[in-house]
Amino acid sequence: MAYNKVPPNSLEAEMAVLGAMLIEKEVIESVTETLLPKNFYSGVHSQIYEAILDLRARNLPVDVVTLSEELKKTGRLEELGGQKYLADLMEKVSTAAHTQAYAQIVKEKSVLRDLIRVSTAVVEKSFEGSEEVDRILDFAQEQVLGVAQKNTDHGFTAASDLAKEVLDRIEKYYSNNSAITGVPTGFSRLDDMTGGLQKSDLIILAARPSQGKTAMALNMAYHACVEKKIPTAFFSLEMNKHSIMQRMICSAARANLSGVRNGRLPREIWPSLTRHTAEVSESPLYIDDSPGLNILEIRNRTRKLMHQLKAEGKTLGLVVIDYLQLIRGAGKTESRQQEVSEISRLLKDLARSMEVPVMALSQLNRRSEDKAREGNRPQLSDLRDSGSIEQDADVVGLIHRPEYYNRADPTLKNKAILIIAKQRNGPVGDVELAFFHEYTKFENPVMTSMDSSVPEEAVF
């Protein structure tokens, strides 16, 4: 698709940059850190800049004489305007003091041209209409994001600078006197092991049905958004938003779910319900209960929320997805295993590109309930549909409730274990918890002395 407009450029700024490099060698380093040959609109200027870079790489002096000789050797001097044009470049600047400002103008014009280029590609795809809308939307966001990332990339970081940044971060942790460096979960032993849910991590929380995956995710989300005021996105592909909100409020208020459903709540629970409802309503929690979302839609909606929060001066701190096996793939695949592999890879890409922890709930296969297995303890190999989930995840937590499999044993009452089966940057092991099924609530094990006489119900 062609447009009858001249792309954004500033030939004057390009000439000023090149001229300054010829009269003042000190500016060469700063300019080369800012500009690449492709940032120049003029092909002539781009080639001259490349010749300057070549001289610099060979530790040769850069001036009008050496540059003329370099271009003459390659037969390009006259083609690029001859010595007269090089002299004209030098006359464009009387001082090199403003060279960095000129270089920035050249860079900004280049970014605008890149945006026009990728936008044109999006327009062409849209007119063709040969791809699904979701794929075109994802392509558009990826292309624009690519332009942004390319122009904020600073290349290598010196060890001296990086080491100082790390030391500053360690000092900050020390001064805060806290082992939690990520999003706190509210479970003290888990936070001790992981330091909280870390930025850019993909966390998989897995269990068999009725073990409390959603309950634990809601408990963590509540602690993040209500207790710590961390903006949290919750994708519910199974339950509607009203059920999610009801579960969260009742769990926090310790209100019996059976009593809620049959309208037989004791009067004394109402103050707690009212208080927790008010707290949740004021929290930065965002729920999307759209059924049948595909992975591209989840990525697009997360990015949209991130930009919305950024405009409000906030930062998205946690993304929860309930649950992974209900996410549709972006297109046709040969098998469900390949589809889940693509989904887990894109979830990890989402966590890394947005620098936010992404927690995805996942089902375990039936092997975890094999009676021949001691204690019915789940294992990493029980993750359903794809081994790539284990590979892509930074942390894998497996929920195990011994009471569920041996209800006759009174010593197992309310006991639950979160098995940290994988942690890329930390230890693995068991986190002991208490689970109160009547509230669908996990708590730190100090609460295990509380009695519960309500018959157990399935927890989803």
**What does the pLDDT look like over 404-432, one tens digit per residue?**
877 778 888 888 899 999 999 889 999 99
Local confidence band at 396 (pLDDT 50, 70, 90 cut-offs): very high
Per-residue model confidence (pLDDT) at position 10: 93
Strands (E), 178-247: 202-207, 232-236
Q: Is pLDDT of 306 > 60?
A: yes
- Only one residue has tokens 């509210």, namely 186
| Angle, alpha carbons 101-104-110 (nearest 5°) | 150
- What would the pLDDT profile of 11-67 be if each residue is shown by its tens digit? 999 999 999 998 888 888 788 878 888 899 999 999 999 888 888 877 788 888 999
Local confidence band at 369 (pLDDT 50, 70, 90 cut-offs): low
Just give the CATH number of 11-150. 1.10.860.10
Q: Is pLDDT of 363 > 90?
A: no
Give me the sign of the Cα torsion angle 216, 217, 221, 224.
positive
**Cβ(200)–Cβ(352) below 8 Å:** yes
DSSP state letter for 161: H
pLDDT (average), residues 97-117? 90
Residue environment code for 241-261, b if the CB has 16+ CB neighbours within 10 A, otherwise e: eeebbbbbbbbbbbbbbeebe
Local confidence band at 317 (pLDDT 50, 70, 90 cut-offs): very high
Q: Is 446 helix (H, G, I), strand (E, B) or coil?
A: helix
Just give the CATH number of 179-447. 3.40.50.300
pLDDT (average), residues 127-137? 81
Q: What is the spatial distance between Cα 195 and Cα 268, in angstroms, rounded to a whole number?
A: 37
Q: Which range is most confident: 18-27, 157-166, 213-222?
A: 213-222
User: Torsion-angle region of residue 293: left (phi > 0), alpha (psi -120 to 50) or beta?
Assistant: beta
User: Which residues belong to CATH 1.10.860.10 in the chain?
Assistant: 11-150
Q: Is pLDDT of 299 > 70?
A: yes
Query: Which candidate, 436, 337, 427, places its Cα nearest to that of 387?
Result: 337
SS3 content of the chain, % helix, strand, coil (to 5): 55, 15, 35
**Cβ(42)–Cβ(48) below 8 Å:** no
Q: What is the spatial distance between Cα 378 and Cα 97, in angstroms, rounded to a whole number?
A: 66
Per-residue model confidence (pLDDT) at position 398: 93
| Angle, alpha carbons 116-153-305 (nearest 5°) | 70
Per-residue model confidence (pLDDT) at position 264: 76
Active-site annotation, residues? 238
Q: What is the spatial distance between Cα 246 and Cα 257, in angstroms, rounded to a whole number?
A: 9
Local confidence band at 1 (pLDDT 50, 70, 90 cut-offs): low
What distances in angstroms separate CA 28 from CA 106, 140, 216, one per listed residue? 15, 36, 57
User: Which residues belong to CATH 3.40.50.300 in the chain?
Assistant: 179-447
Burial label for 305, CB within 10 Å (0-12, 13-18, 19+), is middle
Per-residue model confidence (pLDDT) at position 458: 40
CA 252 to chain centre: 28
Local confidence band at 453 (pLDDT 50, 70, 90 cut-offs): very low
